[in-house]
Chain A
């Protein structure tokens, strides 16, 4: 008896539609977000994540509509990320139906945001998302959806945000994202061994074994995947059955 490994399908949303890119580019359409969320819930998703990948100011009301639509039919934890710059942005999302928000670029530009938002709404709803790429020595953190390289390294940055009050880390390997070659287990294990807060592994899921490895080798507490679930390549139910057979604690 213990806390189960979470399987989190992620909806990358732009203009109210699910899209998915490869290595952060090449966007293709993959359907209606609310319908996808509902299907995932029925299939046994442990949480739903939605990333507003456009997140422009003009598209904000569409995003909030989508959040509300999803929240009205899915009663499992729901994380929303993309374009969050202030405590007020966090509040608006929570009001629209998000349970947690995922903050990426703004956390780097203004680390105080993590502190203020977690104080205001509790650490449980503040996820810090990190996009990073291996540089031969460690993992460099990037901002703006992988466009800009920073001086930060993923391990020290994740420990820093833990101190600031983040409740979880959503770690995306830019080297693996969209490649379907498996998660970056070295990266994830390095973080997991040094953090007390839960780690969500993201980027690279292509087959079932990748998810098993992310947990067993990468020591992730949760795995997030987008495309393998969208195109019904693998159902969440199937994933969970396999993980359970592998001896992992899974909610079926």
Chain B
């Protein structure tokens, strides 16, 4: 089995590759449409802004192959890899996401007293709202590592798998059919994070 790791050109994919390799998975960097061949699963570890991600996906002709893959492959989106699955983001008005989830990604509310810092950076609790194969062995309210300034606040209840609080509640994991995505970084969340990646490797659809 080969796990494709999408490198759209503006992201630090190395940590994810390293974590997957440590679990015994063989990985392949996916940079062009041809690279999707001979991969069995896909991980999308995004960083930076949704606008530049969306642009680079188009520039590198990855958008169509990615949409195609989203219909067929077990898919794990991480951080911006979650956000890009939504229709659009307040971060980059006018740029289109992949529209797997029809809602919008929004900015965190700012608080006058600066008690809620943005980016939301650090370990925070993930409250599981419904079971999922990828969350097997994870207890509700375990801590995972987050780094982001925008979040999914609204989504279809059936598609929300966990919630987290940072000044307000947001969706920290969403999923649908063969697609699962986390706002947190499993590759940087110690044992609990590696457990989610391990579950992803074991996931059959």
Contact residues in A for B120 (Cβ distance below 8 Å): 3
Q: How far is the CA of A77 from the CA of B147 in the complex (A)?
A: 10
> Between A and B, how many residue pairs show CB distances below 8 Å?
102
Q: Which of A6, A121, A196 sits near B12, CB closer than 8 Å? A: A121
Is residue A46 within 8 Å, beta carbon to beta carbon, of the partner chain? yes
Contact residues in A for B18 (Cβ distance below 8 Å): 71-72, 97
Contact residues in B for A46 (Cβ distance below 8 Å): 122-123
Contact residues in B for A72 (Cβ distance below 8 Å): 18, 22
Shortest distance between the CB of A123 and any CB in chain B (Å): 7
Contact residues in A for B22 (Cβ distance below 8 Å): 72, 75
Is residue B47 within 8 Å, beta carbon to beta carbon, of the partner chain? yes
Contact residues in B for A41 (Cβ distance below 8 Å): 190
Interface string of A111-122 (1 = CB under 8 A from B): 000000000111
Shortest distance between the CB of A251 and any CB in chain B (Å): 4
Shortest distance between the CB of A165 and any CB in chain B (Å): 11
Q: How far is the CA of A84 from the CA of B189 in the complex (A)?
A: 26
Q: How far is the CA of A96 from the CA of B121 in the complex (A)?
A: 22
Q: Which of A4, A76, A97, A193 sits near B14, CB closer than 8 Å? A: A97
Whether A75 contacts B189 by the Cβ 8 Å rule is: yes
Give the residue name and chain of the A residue nearest to B188 (CB): A77
Whether A251 contacts B143 by the Cβ 8 Å rule is: yes
Contact residues in B for A96 (Cβ distance below 8 Å): 14
Q: How far is the CA of A195 from the CA of B110 in the complex (A)?
A: 12
Contact residues in B for A123 (Cβ distance below 8 Å): 119, 149
Whether A4 contacts B10 by the Cβ 8 Å rule is: no
Contact residues in B for A94 (Cβ distance below 8 Å): 12, 14
Q: How far is the CA of A192 from the CA of B146 in the complex (A)?
A: 20
Shortest distance between the CB of A1 and any CB in chain B (Å): 4
Is residue A124 within 8 Å, beta carbon to beta carbon, of the partner chain? yes
Whether B123 contacts A251 by the Cβ 8 Å rule is: yes
Q: Which of B49, B122, B127 sits near A3, CB closer than 8 Å? A: B122
**Chain A residues proximal to chain B, CB less than 8 Å:** 1-6, 41, 46, 71-72, 75-77, 94-97, 99, 120-125, 167-168, 192-193, 195-198, 221-222, 251
**Chain B residues proximal to chain A, CB less than 8 Å:** 10-12, 14-15, 18-19, 22, 47-49, 110, 114, 117-125, 127, 141, 143, 145-149, 164-166, 187-190, 193-194
28 residue pairs of the A-B complex, CB under 8 angstroms, read A1-B141, A1-B165, A2-B125, A2-B166, A3-B122, A3-B123, A4-B123, A4-B124, A5-B122, A71-B18, A75-B187, A75-B190, A75-B193, A75-B194, A76-B145, A76-B190, A77-B188, A96-B14, A97-B15, A97-B18, A122-B12, A122-B47, A123-B119, A124-B47, A125-B47, A196-B110, A196-B118, A198-B121
